[in-house]
Amino acid sequence: MAKMFGKGKEKSKASKETMRNLTGLEQICGSDREAYEALSPVMFLDPRKVDVSMKEAVDNAKKADKEKDVSRARMWYEVAGGLAIYEGNTKKVVEYYGEAERVTGEKYLIRNDPEKAVAKATEYYKQYLSS
């Protein structure tokens, strides 16, 4: 009955768009599900649209951390980590997601093999953000 009112088509269209966004990363990761699962929740598809620098994100994270604002600290450490992925800075990826783990107690799969994850992300960015 949902199709009768057009809702079925909208849902289908939205899920196709979501899949299209992930397809590039999935193609680059190929059969390496571990790399895909490490990157997909933390990687910015187009980090050029992020309006803060990595330094600003880290400063905001440290300030929120000092104020014991766990959710803001986590968010800013994740932003800094996502920008570090874009810059290909594995050391900073480990540092910032380590800080996010510390403040939240949650684990980030990217820390299992950050070199491989950053290499896959770099390949993605070279292919999809070259224009």
pLDDT value at position 23?
A: 62
44-53, long-range: CB < 8 A, 24+ apart: 44/82, 44/83, 44/85, 44/86, 45/21, 45/128, 46/129, 47/82, 47/83, 47/85, 47/86, 47/125, 48/129, 50/79, 50/82, 50/83, 52/79, 53/83
Residue numbers in the chain where pLDDT is lower than 50: 1, 3-21
What amino acid is encoded at 98 in this protein?
G
Nearest to 76 by CA among 115, 103, 105, 40: 103
pLDDT value at position 131?
A: 59
Question: Which pTM value belongs to this model?
Answer: 0.80
Counting the structural domains of the chain, the total is: 1
pLDDT value at position 4?
A: 47
Nearest to 74 by CA among 82, 2, 88, 115: 82
| Token pair for 102 | 């510390």
Domain holding 73, by residue range, is 2-128
Instruction: Determine the straight-line distance between the first and last CA of the chain, rounded to whole angstroms.
Output: 43
